[in-house]
């Protein structure tokens, strides 16, 4: 079928005059209270309607229109046509709408459904209805009760009404921040959705940094000509955790070494376990010695050297590495136990942490592949790259950027510690002022709320203006409902969502969304081989 809708704006002054005349006449009739009249109820109804319309026009600046809706139904079989007509009539009448068949006016209706803007007078009188502006806008496609940000990217369609969902998470006027949370069980569609976001934001020139613990993003990275950095036993790329980078503090700020030591305490907490305040002070003292041995002190000028009479920030080879710290720790009886725990990172299976940085981070899309670290050691790689990506985030406040933390529970869950979780929380709390967006992705809901009674998980959730909940198990839904304002109906919906469907919290709006993608996007995200396999199976 084809549907055509026409609008004709009426003169408000003439309308008010006609309404006032009608109200006066009907008012007189109602006062006579002629109870024998069969149409007294209809008269009262039209009287109230007329008063309401006049009030909306005069007080609320509404306009009044004539609305014409024409439906042209077609079929190759006359019996099928009759069936379709009856079906449409049944649907419309069940919604309280009146229908009228265009007997002997089929040609006019047929032409009115062409894109030639033809609404002949012979059918107008039978079809027109009065409508105010507020009612008229509900007849526009794609705008009913959904999210349609002007400069947003396409996300998908509203499951209830098929309206389009466009979100601009960087709209600071509408959203308090650009942070996102993406939760869902394995296979629910959260990874595909994340890749879709990365692809579409790449087209907008937004810098994106992804921490990839499961090697899920290498195809996308390759297709988009991003930079993939692998770190592990078999890699020849290295990141020096002790390196101080020029962008680690902003211009006109001070405190390079103090900032770096603060971050390092979180990393060493992961290695040494939860260390007490006395042990922290001792380790900090040793770190100060390590940097002093490289002529780096709390004076920021010590981070610069003269090259050809020009002041230049010290290079990668001017920085200490873990082995330098190990040599200092081993000399003191109080810190020998810490030196022992560093041995795997110096001489053992994790010795790739003991090297100078040899990668450049100049691409708009960088994927940190830490899959080869193994399950037990992923948290070290995640922290390492979170640290270096955070420095990149702070580099230019005017440049939009995003950091994606897949399996974030490893950094804020019970397997982590308060210092690391505080660092991640700080990112989500302050990234907005750097023009950035933090994206938390996980399938383990219980784990992100397992540290400090869920303090850090809740903080990150509350500091994310946009949340996407894909299908979850009942246990995870129960945990999530403790930290969000999920209604009873939404709890049921999350449990029954299909793959690629999500309940989205966008600011104050809650909408069920079906994530949509084009064939080209599917080929880029899945790779040709997997795309063909999925296509053939469908």
Band (156; pLDDT cuts 50, 70, 90): very high
Span 96-110, mean pLDDT? 91
Instruction: Report phi then psi at 127, rounded to 5.
Output: -100, -20
Say if strands 365-369 and 207-212 run parallel, antiparallel, or are unpaired: parallel
Contact of 208 with 404, CB cutoff 8 Å: yes
- Distance (Å, whole) CA 10 – CA 65: 5
Instruction: Give a yes or no: residue 189 inside a domain.
Output: no
Specify whether 8 is located in the same domain as 120: yes
Instruction: Give a yes or no: residue 368 inside a domain.
Output: no
Q: State what percent of residues in the chain have pLDDT above 90.
A: 68
Span 231-235, mean pLDDT? 89
Angle between helices 322-329 and 277-292 (to 10 degrees): 120
Specify whether 242 is located in the same domain as 125: no
Instruction: Report phi then psi at 149, rounded to 5.
Output: -75, 135
Lowest mean pLDDT among 84-88, 92-96, 242-246, 302-306: 92-96
Token digits for 108? 């006019």
Nearest to 305, CA basis, from 315, 297, 293: 315
Position 252 pLDDT exceeds 50: yes
Token digits for 171? 């709209």
Specify whether 130 is located in the same domain as 257: no
Lowest mean pLDDT among 31-35, 182-186, 395-399, 409-413: 31-35
pLDDT confidence of residue 327: 96
Specify whether 126 is located in the same domain as 255: no
CATH number at residue 351: 1.10.8.730
CB atoms closer than 10 angstroms to residue 376: 8
Nearest to 276, CA basis, from 211, 329, 233, 338: 338
pLDDT confidence of residue 235: 87
- Distance (Å, whole) CA 417 – CA 370: 20
Nearest to 209, CA basis, from 387, 407, 408, 364: 364
Lowest mean pLDDT among 19-28, 57-66, 351-360: 19-28
Query: What is the sign of the dihedral through the CA atoms of 426, 432, 437 and 439?
Result: positive
Domain extent, residue 311, equals: 238-358
Instruction: Give a yes or no: residue 461 inside a domain.
Output: no
What digits encode the pLDDT tens for the residues 123-148?
Answer: 998 899 999 998 887 787 654 456 88
Q: How far is CA 345 from CA 166, 267, 321, 353, 374, in A?
A: 46, 12, 11, 6, 14
pLDDT confidence of residue 537: 59
pLDDT confidence of residue 301: 93
pLDDT confidence of residue 157: 92
- Distance (Å, whole) CA 388 – CA 361: 9
Q: State what percent of residues in the chain have pLDDT above 70.
A: 95
- Total tally of structural domains belonging to the chain: 2
Contact of 167 with 426, CB cutoff 8 Å: no
- Distance (Å, whole) CA 275 – CA 247: 29
Position 299 pLDDT exceeds 90: yes
Last residue within a domain, chosen from 139, 170, 192: 139
Position 286 pLDDT exceeds 60: yes
Specify whether 248 is located in the same domain as 121: no
The position carrying tokens 């049944």 is: 90
**Sequence-separated (6 or more) residues with CB below 8 Å from residue 373:** 231, 232, 380, 381
- Distance (Å, whole) CA 312 – CA 303: 9
Specify whether 135 is located in the same domain as 254: no
Mean pLDDT of the chain: 90
Instruction: Give a yes or no: residue 382 inside a domain.
Output: no
Say if strands 207-212 and 401-406 run parallel, antiparallel, or are unpaired: parallel
Contact of 237 with 212, CB cutoff 8 Å: no
Instruction: Give a yes or no: residue 348 inside a domain.
Output: yes
Angle between helices 418-430 and 455-462 (to 10 degrees): 10
Last residue within a domain, chosen from 336, 358, 380: 358
Instruction: Give a yes or no: residue 62 inside a domain.
Output: yes
Last residue within a domain, chosen from 123, 139, 155: 139
Specify whether 14 is located in the same domain as 135: yes
pLDDT confidence of residue 222: 93
Specify whether 15 is located in the same domain as 127: yes
User: What's the gap between Cα 398 and its chain centre?
Assistant: 20
Specify whether 127 is located in the same domain as 7: yes
Instruction: Give a yes or no: residue 311 inside a domain.
Output: yes
Instruction: Give a yes or no: residue 471 inside a domain.
Output: no
Exposed, middle or buried: residue 404 (CB in 10 Å: 0-12, 13-18, 19+)?
Answer: buried
Band (530; pLDDT cuts 50, 70, 90): low
């Amino acid at each position: 079928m084809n549907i055509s809708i026409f609008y004709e704006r009426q003169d408000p002054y003439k309308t008010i005059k006609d309404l006032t005349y009608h109200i006066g006449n009907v008012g007189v009739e109602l006062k006579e209270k002629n109870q024998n009249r069969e149409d007294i109820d209809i008269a009262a109804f039209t009287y109230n309607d007329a008063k309401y319309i006049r009030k909306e026009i005069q007080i609320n600046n509404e306009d009044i229109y004539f609305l014409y809706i024409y439906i042209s139904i077609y079929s190759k079989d006359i019996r099928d046509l009759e069936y379709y007509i009856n079906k449409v009539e049944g649907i419309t009448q069940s919604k309280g709408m009146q229908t009228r068949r265009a007997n002997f006016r089929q040609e006019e209706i047929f032409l009115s459904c062409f894109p030639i803007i033809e609404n002949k007078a012979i059918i107008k009188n039978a079809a027109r209805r009065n409508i105010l502006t507020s009612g008229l806008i509900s007849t526009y496609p794609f705008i009913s009760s959904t999210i349609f940000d002007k400069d947003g990217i396409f996300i998908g369609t509203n499951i209830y009404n098929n309206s389009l969902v466009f979100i601009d998470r960087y709209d600071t006027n509408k959203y308090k921040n650009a942070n996102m949370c993406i939760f869902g069980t394995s296979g629910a569609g959260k990874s595909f959705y994340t890749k879709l976001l990365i692809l579409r934001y790449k087209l907008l020139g937004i810098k994106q940094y992804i921490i990839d613990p499961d090697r899920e993003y290498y195809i996308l990275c390759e297709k988009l000509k991003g930079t993939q950095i692998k770190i592990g036993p078999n890699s020849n790329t290295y990141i020096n955790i002790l390196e101080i980078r020029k962008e680690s503090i902003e211009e006109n700020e001070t405190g390079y070494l103090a900032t770096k030591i603060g971050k390092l305490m979180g990393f060493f907490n992961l290695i040494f376990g939860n260390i007490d305040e006395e042990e922290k002070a001792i380790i900090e003292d040793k770190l100060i010695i390590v940097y002093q041995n490289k002529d780096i002190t709390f004076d920021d000028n010590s981070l610069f050297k003269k090259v050809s009479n020009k002041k230049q920030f010290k290079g990668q080879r001017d920085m200490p590495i873990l082995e330098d710290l190990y040599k200092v720790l081993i000399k003191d009886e109080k810190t020998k136990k810490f030196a022992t725990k560093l041995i795997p990172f110096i001489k053992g299976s994790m010795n790739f942490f003991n090297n100078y940085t040899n990668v450049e981070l100049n691409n708009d899309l960088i994927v940190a592949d830490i899959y080869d670290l193994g399950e037990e050691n992923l948290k070290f790689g995640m922290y390492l790259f979170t640290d270096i990506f955070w420095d990149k985030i702070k580099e230019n406040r005017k440049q939009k950027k995003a950091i994606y933390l897949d399996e974030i529970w490893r950094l804020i869950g019970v397997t982590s510690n308060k210092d690391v979780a505080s660092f991640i929380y700080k990112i989500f709390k302050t990234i907005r002022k750097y023009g950035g967006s933090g994206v938390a992705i996980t399938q383990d809901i219980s784990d992100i709320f397992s540290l400090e009674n869920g303090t850090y998980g809740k903080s990150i959730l509350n500091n994310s203006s946009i949340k996407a909940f894909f299908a979850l198990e009942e246990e995870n839904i129960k945990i999530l409902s403790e930290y969000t304002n999920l209604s009873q109906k939404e709890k049921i919906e999350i449990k029954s969502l299909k793959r690629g469907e999500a309940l989205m919290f966008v600011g104050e709006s809650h909408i069920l969304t079906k994530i949509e993608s084009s064939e080209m996007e599917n080929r880029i995200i899945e790779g040709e081989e997997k795309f063909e396999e999925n296509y053939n199976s469908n």
